[in-house]
Amino acid sequence: MEPEGRVAVVAAVIQRGDQYLLGRRPESKRHGGLWEFPGGKVHNGESHLEAIHRELAEELALKAVRLGQLLFSVADKGSPYFIEFVETFIDGTPIPYEHSEIAWLTIDELDELRLAPADAAFAAWLCQGAEPRP
């Protein structure tokens, strides 16, 4: 659960083999042009699965089938957002409705991207080979 006064955001960590699905944020949004794990705000009364299901359908035409472990959480500096990165299992092929482009990338390739700050923190954690944590 997010700390008091924070806005809950859930980020879907979607894997295909050794690759992760990321999208480039639209230029007109906060952190425009930077790469991120897809997701968005959790609305009042929504579960994480409901939020991810809604966000992935809107952004990528994907169906979230189930969630796995909470892998990482971080406050997004300079904003009220508290982002939780959650292992997500999907059906479908991503179509970038919201993102300017999408890509399936390995951990090594994540290091080469300009990531949004919270996503960069998660990617650094992944690169260290850390174990999932609640």
What pLDDT score does 132 carry? 46
Residue 132 lies in a domain: no
Query: Distance between the two ends of the chain, CA-based, in angstroms?
Result: 10
Identify whether 40 is part of a domain.
yes
Q: Is residue 133 part of a domain?
A: no
In a domain, 93, yes or no: yes
Count of the separate structural domains present in the chain: 1
- Select the more confidently predicted residue: 84 or 129: 84
pTM summary value: 0.89
Q: For 7, which DSSP code?
A: E
CATH of the domain at 20: 3.90.79.10
Domain membership flag for residue 63: yes
pLDDT surpasses 50 at 133: no
Predicted pLDDT at 31: 67
Residue 119 located in a structural domain? yes
Q: Which helix (H) or strand (E) holds 51?
A: helix 48-60
CA-CA distance, 114 to 111, in Å (whole number)? 8
Report yes or no on 115 lying in a domain. yes
The domain in which residue 45 lies consists of 7-127
Name which residue leads in pLDDT, 82 or 79. 82
Q: What CA–CA distance (Å, rounded) separates 43 from 50?
A: 9
Q: Are residues 127 and 110 in contact, defined by beta-carbon separation less than 8 angstroms?
A: yes
**Domain contains 134:** no
CA angle, 54 as apex, 117 and 123 as ends, to 5°?
A: 25
User: How high is the mean pLDDT of the chain?
Assistant: 89
